[in-house]
Amino acid sequence: MHVKLTQAGYEGFTGLLGSIDFVDGVSTQSVSGQQSAGILNVVQGELVELGSPQFQPVVEEPVVEPEPVVEPEPVVEPVVAEPVVEEPAEPAAAE
pLDDT per position as a tens digit, 35-56: 988 999 999 998 888 766 655 5
Q: Is 12 helix (H, G, I), strand (E, B) or coil?
A: coil
* Residue 31 falls inside a structural domain: yes
Q: Which residue has the higher pLDDT, 62 or 69?
A: 69
* Residue 17 falls inside a structural domain: yes
* Residue 6 falls inside a structural domain: yes
b/e sequence 21-50, b meaning 16+ C-beta within 10 Å: ebeebbbeeebeeebbebbbeebebeebee
* Residue 61 falls inside a structural domain: no
* Residue 34 falls inside a structural domain: yes
* Residue 59 falls inside a structural domain: no
* Residue 48 falls inside a structural domain: yes
Residue 60 reports pLDDT greater than 70: no
Write out the residue range of the structural domain in which residue 24 sits: 2-53
Average pLDDT over residues 11-24: 90
Q: Write phi, then psi, for 48 (nearest 5 degrees).
A: -135, 155
Q: Which residue has the higher pLDDT, 51 or 5?
A: 5
Report the pLDDT value the prediction gives residue 15, as an integer from 0 to 100: 92
Share of the chain above pLDDT 70, in %: 83
Residue 3, judged by CB atoms within 10 A of its CB (0-12, 13-18, 19+), counts as buried
* Residue 74 falls inside a structural domain: no
Report the pLDDT value the prediction gives residue 44, as an integer from 0 to 100: 92
Residue 95 reports pLDDT greater than 60: no
Looking at the structure of the chain, the number of domains it has is: 1
Other CB atoms closer than 10 Å to residue 74's CB: what's the count?
5
